[in-house]
């Protein structure tokens, strides 16, 4: 089944594309470092989101050409970026006033685990090593809508959507939507509610890759994304 899954599941770019479709025109958005940064590439035509980065910049754009980086102009992932018209700089306390104060509309983050009550684990494997939290705990407690993009299962085949997180929490009851490599799932009343799934996977198979019960409220539509 796992091999079959690999042939049908969405690529990271496709997951990012799907998440980008839900960002409205004029929304203020923070993208977690790494994979979530990819969402910015897929803003739908005619909509303009404003991207915030924790290190003190609102309104940044694409990466500069190689060799044209200015290392004072970076994002939270410490990658060089560029400025769009209307951008602004501010210090870290003001930056997190935006985050904690509920001024950002959307945060899109990666996850180790998401529980059916919206708990998120994405900062520590809990196995020793070196912990590093960054701005994740501020984002999940401050941004109006916290969404997760993630593979549906781990590389070892374990579900990432679970009844209860076994890994150290980033935040409690904070996630409201999960975009996975197989489905789009809302979290509502401490339940996973399936909204979209790939046409090529059956309900039973999808449930089997999910660590908690998938509820169905209304229609489940096909999760359709372009080749990227």
Which residues would be at the binding site for another protein (CB under 8 A)? Answer: 25-26, 28, 48, 50, 52-59, 69-75, 78, 83, 85-104, 130-138, 141-142, 168-172
Cβ closer to another protein: 132 or 224? Answer: 132
Distance CA 53, CA 64 (A): 16
| Beta carbon of residue 93, minimum distance to another protein (angstroms, whole number) | 4
Distance CA 197, CA 205 (A): 11
Cβ closer to another protein: 13 or 73? Answer: 73
CA 7 vs. chain centroid, Å, equals: 23
54 in catalytic set? yes
Question: Got the DSSP string for 190-211?
Answer: TEEEEEEE-TTS-HHHHHHTSB
Catalytic residue among 54, 163, 196, 217: 54
Mode of pairing for the β-strands spanning 145-150 and 175-180: parallel
| Beta carbon of residue 223, minimum distance to another protein (angstroms, whole number) | 30
Mode of pairing for the β-strands spanning 50-53 and 57-61: antiparallel
| Beta carbon of residue 128, minimum distance to another protein (angstroms, whole number) | 9
Cβ closer to another protein: 101 or 157? Answer: 101
Distance CA 2, CA 115 (A): 22
Cβ closer to another protein: 48 or 217? Answer: 48
Residue 146 · residue 120 · CB < 8 Å: yes
Tokens of 63: 């990466």
| Beta carbon of residue 208, minimum distance to another protein (angstroms, whole number) | 30
Task: Indicate which residues carry an active-site annotation.
Answer: 54
């Amino acid at each position: 089944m796992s091999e079959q899954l690999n042939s049908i599941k969405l690529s990271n770019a496709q997951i990012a594309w799907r998440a980008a479709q839900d960002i409205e025109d004029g929304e203020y958005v923070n993208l977690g470092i790494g994979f979530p940064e990819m969402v910015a590439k897929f803003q739908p035509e005619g909509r303009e989101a404003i991207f915030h980065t924790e290190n003190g910049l609102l309104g940044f754009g694409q990466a500069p050409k190689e060799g044209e980086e200015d290392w004072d102009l970076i994002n939270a992932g410490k990658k060089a970026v560029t400025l769009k018209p209307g951008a602004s700089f501010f210090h870290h306390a003001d930056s997190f006033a935006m985050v904690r104060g509920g001024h950002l509309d959307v945060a899109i983050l990666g996850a180790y685990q998401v529980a059916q009550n919206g708990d998120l684990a994405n900062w520590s494997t809990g196995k020793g090593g070196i912990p590093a939290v960054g701005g994740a705990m501020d984002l999940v407690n401050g941004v109006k809508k916290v969404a997760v993009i993630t593979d549906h299962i781990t590389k070892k085949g374990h579900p990432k959507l679970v009844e209860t997180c076994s890994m150290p929490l980033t935040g409690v009851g904070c996630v409201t939507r999960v975009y996975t490599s197989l489905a789009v799932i809302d979290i509502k009343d401490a339940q996973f509610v399936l909204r979209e799934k790939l046409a090529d996977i059956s309900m039973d198979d999808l449930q089997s890759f999910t660590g908690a019960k998938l509820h169905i409220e209304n229609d489940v539509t096909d999760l359709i994304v372009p080749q990227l």
